[in-house]
Chains A and B, each alone.
Chain A
Amino acid sequence: MAKFLGTRVLHSGIALIGLILAVFFLVRLTGDPTDLYLPIDASLETRKEFAHKHGFDRSAVEQFLVFLKDVSQGDLGYSLRKQRPAMELVLEAYPTTLRLAGVAMTLSIALAIVVGSIAAYRPGGVFDRISSMASLAGASAPDFWIAITGILLFAVTFRWLPTSGVGGIEYWVLPIVVLMLRPFGLMVQVVRASMLGALSSAYVKTARAKGVGESAIIFVHALRNAGLSVITVAGDLTVGLINGAVIVETVFGWPGVGKLMIDSVIQRDFPTVQAAVMVTAMAIFLLNIVIDLLYVALDPRIRHQ
């Protein structure tokens, strides 16, 4: 186990360095931020002076050497847009993202397992049809459409909920529902598909023959066998949310890392993009390690490979 973790962390570290290199050089292919940062009417001299001061008139390799030197001193650069340390911006935004992702995924997984399992128990049945249609419709609906319609309906027409913003539990309702639609929809489908396979396998029949109750068959025996793909898909969906829930952050005014990333890419705020990728990548790599550990916990045979 320790050896597994050791090599895994080492490999992830190498991949992280590769990622940072890729981001550093690729982001510099997207143009010179001088024009975006300076006012549209700035003179050519001002532009040259700005580019020179921030090193954009130098080659990408030279810029990278400066970056390495700064990083070795613990300095990840200043955000061009906000004139503050880039890492500070990212770390400010990250808790919001993690909270949203955590709550939305926990609820989605729990609900999807129950709904998907029941649907798989009688494929083609009424429950299966309704739950499949509803979850798919939710997953394939444009999320901003749901978000804004939700605001207009529940905050403006009925006045049950606040329109947007951060605060107590009533502020969470709309964002979380919007955020859950896609993970829940996809998870229901995957749980259902995996359970279908598992329910018709021999060991479930054996369990049934032994007189194990139906609910135990579904939620313990079959589900456990269906677990690998469910965990994998859940992991991928979590990664999506860790990268930021852009629509929810934008519409509801939750200051997360998704909006920060989009603004920084569009505004060519290179230091912030780099810092944001660094932090999200670490979270994602960590999550993938946890998922691999879960595989082993769920299916001990995998350990022997």
Chain B
Amino acid sequence: MSTAEQEAITIRRVTPWWRLLPRDKFALVAACWMVVLFACFLLGPELFGKAATAINLRARNLAPGSLENGWLMILGGDALGRSILARLIVASRNTMTIALTAVILAMLAGGALGMIAGYIGRGVGQIIMRFADVLQSFPSLLLAVVVLYVLEPSVTNLIIVLSITRLPIYLRVTRAEVMEVRERVFVDAARALGGGRFHILRRHITPVVAPTLLTILTVDFSIVMLAESSLSFLGIGIQPPEITWGLMVAQGRNYLSQAWWLAFFPGLAIMLATLSGNILSNWLRIVSDPEQRWRLETVGQDKRKPEKQGQGAGGRTDG
């Protein structure tokens, strides 16, 4: 956080974030959902492992919405009569491990390379950018086949493949933002005051670049899940008897016209995780931005307080 932002916050009385959260219903619901997912992640396979693999051909493609076969069948049964709900819960661990690790790795590596390319200079920057061109043009399926054929098809290798294919977007976005931000006056000022390169990157540039990267990250979560799903469909990547949401989507693909729920519920799970992640990151952004924080602090009072818009100027000047 820049000094200007800190100053802006101390001027007002700061409401702590946990008191702000209930004021935004969407963010609250999203946070609750995240807690549920985290619980599934921690305990799911231990609690529901048996139920998720118990085959019952009589409950094959059982339609959702009925409690007759027990509450675990509330979301229906899959092609082998296994509880879709139990499978969703169990799959959450693999899913989150793969998707979150892949996007976070991609963001960190892409972000770091992007900062170097955008800030440090032409030679290195050129090499990094052409490297990104090559990565972008290398067919991701071929990469997956090479890695998973030559090495073992393991979760770790899958994460590596997925994060490499997602890396270029973070790299390019970071570089673009850095190129723009570094020309701004406050960076010039910081430079003039003798701030080191690393100091400038960390204190001035990172806070500006981070929100965009986080926005992409939340959407990328679903993109990575669905990419993993298509790999599974082609026979590469996660395969039964392992379970992920992506694999469940891929397995439901052949049944769309007869039993839509096979692919729908895992698809919905991916969607809801993405949505709540996005809502939370937007909320965090508002909370951490002195320019926007008033929107939350004043909820329940006047809807708009335009006179406050003028406050806190100087957070980012452009000249």
- With A142-B229, A142-B263, A305-B122 as known contacts, state yes or no: A202 contacts B141, CB within 8 Å: no
B212 in contact with A193 (CB, 8 Å): yes
Q: Which residues of B contact A22 (CB under 8 A)?
A: 134, 138
Q: A96 in the interface, Cβ–Cβ < 8 Å?
A: no
Q: Give Cα A193–Cα B208 distance, bound, in whole angstroms.
A: 11
Contact flags A247-270 to B (C-beta < 8 A → 1, else 0): 100000000000001100110000
CB neighbors of A among B218-277 (8 A): 218-219, 221-223, 225-226, 229-230, 234, 249, 253, 256-257, 260, 263-264, 267, 270-271, 274-275
Can you report 17 A-B residue pairs in the complex whose CB atoms are below 8 A from each other? A30-B149, A132-B278, A132-B279, A136-B219, A189-B218, A189-B219, A190-B216, A193-B212, A197-B211, A200-B316, A201-B318, A229-B173, A236-B173, A273-B142, A277-B137, A299-B179, A299-B180
Q: Which residues of A contact B230 (CB under 8 A)?
A: 246-247
Contact flags A193-237 to B (C-beta < 8 A → 1, else 0): 110110011110100000000000000000001001101110110
Instruction: Tell me the nearest residue of chain A to B226, going by C-beta.
Output: A142
A145 in contact with B141 (CB, 8 Å): no
A12 in contact with B130 (CB, 8 Å): yes
Q: Give Cα A145–Cα B242 distance, bound, in whole angstroms.
A: 22
Q: A18 in the interface, Cβ–Cβ < 8 Å?
A: yes
A29 in contact with B142 (CB, 8 Å): no
A30 in contact with B146 (CB, 8 Å): yes
Q: Give Cα A138–Cα B257 distance, bound, in whole angstroms.
A: 20
A229 in contact with B226 (CB, 8 Å): no
B149 in contact with A31 (CB, 8 Å): yes
- With A193-B211, A200-B315, A239-B136 as known contacts, state yes or no: A149 contacts B256, CB within 8 Å: yes
Name the 5 nearest CB pairs between A and B, nearest first.
Answer: A140-B222, A281-B137, A15-B130, A140-B274, A200-B291
A261 in contact with B318 (CB, 8 Å): no
Q: Which residues of A contact B223 (CB under 8 A)?
A: 139-140, 182
Q: How many residues of A contact B (CB 8 A)?
A: 74
Q: A148 in the interface, Cβ–Cβ < 8 Å?
A: yes
Contact flags B94-130 to A (C-beta < 8 A → 1, else 0): 0000000000000000000000000000100010011
Q: Which residues of B contact A266 (CB under 8 A)?
A: 145, 234
B169 in contact with A123 (CB, 8 Å): no
CB neighbors of B among A100-150 (8 A): 123-124, 129, 132-133, 136-137, 139-145, 148-149
Q: A23 in the interface, Cβ–Cβ < 8 Å?
A: yes
A186 in contact with B145 (CB, 8 Å): no
Measured CB to CB, the closest approach of chain A to B172, in angstroms, equals 5
Q: Give Cα A107–Cα B107 distance, bound, in whole angstroms.
A: 28
- With A124-B295, A273-B142 as known contacts, state yes or no: A186 contacts B177, CB within 8 Å: no
Q: B286 in the interface, Cβ–Cβ < 8 Å?
A: yes
Q: Which residues of B contact A239 (CB under 8 A)?
A: 136, 168
Q: Which among B150, B215, B216, B249 is the interface contact of A142 at CB below 8 angstroms?
A: B249
Most buried by A among B177, B215, B313: B215
Q: B133 in the interface, Cβ–Cβ < 8 Å?
A: yes
Q: A11 in the interface, Cβ–Cβ < 8 Å?
A: yes
B142 in contact with A233 (CB, 8 Å): no
Q: B301 in the interface, Cβ–Cβ < 8 Å?
A: no
- With A140-B222, A194-B212, A285-B137 as known contacts, state yes or no: A29 contacts B146, CB within 8 Å: yes
A27 in contact with B142 (CB, 8 Å): yes
- With A197-B208, A265-B142, A273-B142 as known contacts, state yes or no: A123 contacts B292, CB within 8 Å: yes
Q: A26 in the interface, Cβ–Cβ < 8 Å?
A: yes
Q: B65 in the interface, Cβ–Cβ < 8 Å?
A: no
Q: Which residues of B contact A23 (CB under 8 A)?
A: 138-139, 142
Measured CB to CB, the closest approach of chain B to A99, in angstroms, equals 20
CB neighbors of A among B145-188 (8 A): 145-146, 149-150, 168-169, 172-173, 175-177, 179-180, 183
Q: Which residues of A contact B133 (CB under 8 A)?
A: 12, 15, 19, 281, 284-285, 288
Q: Give Cα A246–Cα B168 distance, bound, in whole angstroms.
A: 20
Q: A34 in the interface, Cβ–Cβ < 8 Å?
A: no
Q: Which residues of A contact B297 (CB under 8 A)?
A: none
Q: A40 in the interface, Cβ–Cβ < 8 Å?
A: no
Measured CB to CB, the closest approach of chain B to A271, in angstroms, equals 14
Q: Which residues of A contact B142 (CB under 8 A)?
A: 23, 26-27, 30, 261, 265, 273, 277
Q: Give Cα A129–Cα B24 distance, bound, in whole angstroms.
A: 12
B253 in contact with A305 (CB, 8 Å): no
Q: Which residues of A contact B17 (CB under 8 A)?
A: none
Q: Give Cα A138–Cα B150 distance, bound, in whole angstroms.
A: 35
B256 in contact with A145 (CB, 8 Å): yes
Measured CB to CB, the closest approach of chain A to B233, in angstroms, equals 9
Given A136-B275, A141-B267, A201-B316, 20 more A-B residue pairs with CB atoms under 8 Å apart are A11-B126, A124-B286, A133-B275, A140-B222, A140-B270, A140-B275, A142-B270, A186-B216, A201-B317, A202-B319, A231-B176, A233-B169, A239-B168, A243-B140, A261-B142, A265-B141, A273-B139, A299-B183, A302-B179, A305-B179
